[in-house]
Structure 1
Amino acid sequence: MVMRREKRYEEYAWVLDFIVRGTPRSKSRIRGRPFAQVIGENFFTLLEVSVREGVILSVFERVFVGKDNREKIDHILGRIGYKDLTFSAKVELPRVIEYIILHREREFVDFFNKAHPITPRMHSLELLPGIGKKYMWAIINEREKKPFESLKDVQERTGIPSPVKLLAKRIIEELMGESKYYLFVRMP
C-alpha cells in the first residue's frame, strides 16, 4: 500500500517581493514578465507567482492564489525554497510572518493551549527558540489553571519575552529546512 500525502493548497498569500521584469527561479522560460514571491497564509508555503499584465503588487499585500477567479495573479509558477528568495523577500519575511501570526492569532493561541510532547523527553513547546524546560513548565502550569486567550495573555502569564517573535523564528527555521519536526510549515 502506497501512502500519499494529502495535497494542500493555499487560498491566500502575502507578497514578499514584486519583480516587474525578471527571471523567476522556478521557471526560466518565463522571462521579462512580472512575477512575485509570496508566502501562503495557511501553510506558510513559499511560492513564485506570475502576475497579470498591468497589475502592480506591493509588499504586505494579501492576494488570492486559490483555484478560481484570481484577480491579480495569472498563475502559480511553483514552490520555492528559502534559498531561492530574493534579498528583499528575505528581509521582509520575518515581518510578514509576524503579521500572519497576528492575523491568525487564535490558531497560535490554540497551539500554546494544546501543545503536547513529541517524545518522552521532548515537548513541542521546546521546539520554539528560547523555550526551555523552565518556560515550557510555566506554559503548561498556566494553561492548566486557565486556557490562554491571546498571545499577549501568554506573554503576561508566563514571562515569555515575545511569543510572536518566537513563533516567527520557528517558522523561518522550518522554511530554511533546518528542522527535524515541522509544527507550522508544510513539509518540503
Structure 2
Amino acid sequence: MGELEKNRSKKKYEEYAYVLDYLPYGRADDRRPIYQRKPIVQAVGEEFFTLLELTPKRNVNLSPHERVYIGKGERAKIDHVERRISYEELTSVAKSELPAVIEKIVEENEKKFVDFFNNAQPISTRLHQLKLIPGIGSKTMWNILEEREKKPFEDFKDLAERGKLHEPKKAVVSRIISELKGEDKYRLFTRPPTPEPSERQYQKKPAKGISG
C-alpha cells in the first residue's frame, strides 16, 4: 500500500469540500411547491473526492469552487451533510465545474500526489498501480520506478522531466474523474458513493462529518 493510501485510511471523515453547484430551490425534478423545497449544495470532498449533497444554513450565499468546512466542529455555512451521491446524480453545472475543482485540489496538495508516484506498489503480479494512471505504459512505468530509486520525485515538474510522464497533474485529474464516473474497479484516490453500513449513522446529523 502506498503512503497516499495509508494516509487516507487513517482519516475517516471529509473535513472540507468544494462547492460544485448551489441549488437555492432544490432539485429541478422536485415536484413540491417552491416553499416546501430546501436548498441543496452539491460538492466534492477535499481529501477523498467524495461527491456529496449538503444542506446549507439559512441565509447563506455559496459559489462554485468555494471551500467550505463540513467536519465535526462548528460549521459556518453548512448545516449538515445530507448524503453521498454518484457522478450521475450531479447537475450539469456540477459536472462542468468538477474538472477545474479537482485540478485545484490536486494543485494545492501536489506533494501528496507526487508521493503516490514515489510509493505506488504492484496490485498483482501483472498489474502495477502506476499503470492505472493515464499515459503510463510499461516503458514509462519502469522509467518512473528506476528514477524514484535514485531519488524520490519532488514535484510534478520533476516527475515530468525525470519520469518522462507528460503532464502528470492532468493525468492525476483524469484518473480521479474516471474513478468518480465508476469507469474502473480500482480506486487510487477516491471512495465509492455508498458508505459502509457502520458509516450510515453519521449522515444527516448536524454535529457530524461525512465518512470518507
| TM-score between the two structures when normalised by the length of structure 2 | 0.80
Higher strand share: 1
Mapped to 2, the partners of 1:79 and 1:31 lie a distance apart of 22
List aligned pairs for 1:45-64, cutoff 5 A: 45-64=50-69
Mapped to 2, the partners of 1:36 and 1:184 lie a distance apart of 23
Q: Percent identity?
A: 53
Mapped to 1, the partners of 2:41 and 2:173 lie a distance apart of 21
Q: Deviations over 1:58-87 (max 9, x none)?
A: 111110011221110011110000000000
- 2:91 equivalent in structure 1: 86
List aligned pairs for 1:5-84, cutoff 5 A: 8-23=12-27, 32-84=37-89
Query: Contact conserved, 2:120 with 2:129, CA < 8 A, in 1?
Result: yes
Does residue 148 (structure 1) correspond to residue 153 (structure 2)? The answer is yes
- 1:127 equivalent in structure 2: 132
Structure 1 residues 24 and 70, CA, compared in 2 at 3 Å: closer, same or farther? Answer: farther
Pick the aligned partner of 2:179 from 163, 174, 181: 174
Mapped to 2, the partners of 1:8 and 1:31 lie a distance apart of 34
Q: Deviations over 1:161-188 (max 9, x none)?
A: 2111111111111111121211111134
Mapped to 2, the partners of 1:23 and 1:32 lie a distance apart of 8
Uncovered stretches (5+) of structure 1, i.e. residues with no partner: none
Mapped to 1, the partners of 2:65 and 2:157 lie a distance apart of 23
Uncovered stretches (5+) of structure 2, i.e. residues with no partner: 1-8, 194-212
The amino acid that maps onto 2:54 is V
| Matched length | 181
Mapped to 1, the partners of 2:36 and 2:110 lie a distance apart of 38
Query: Contact conserved, 1:21 with 1:31, CA < 8 A, in 2?
Result: no
Mapped to 2, the partners of 1:182 and 1:56 lie a distance apart of 34
| TM-score between the two structures when normalised by the length of structure 1 | 0.89
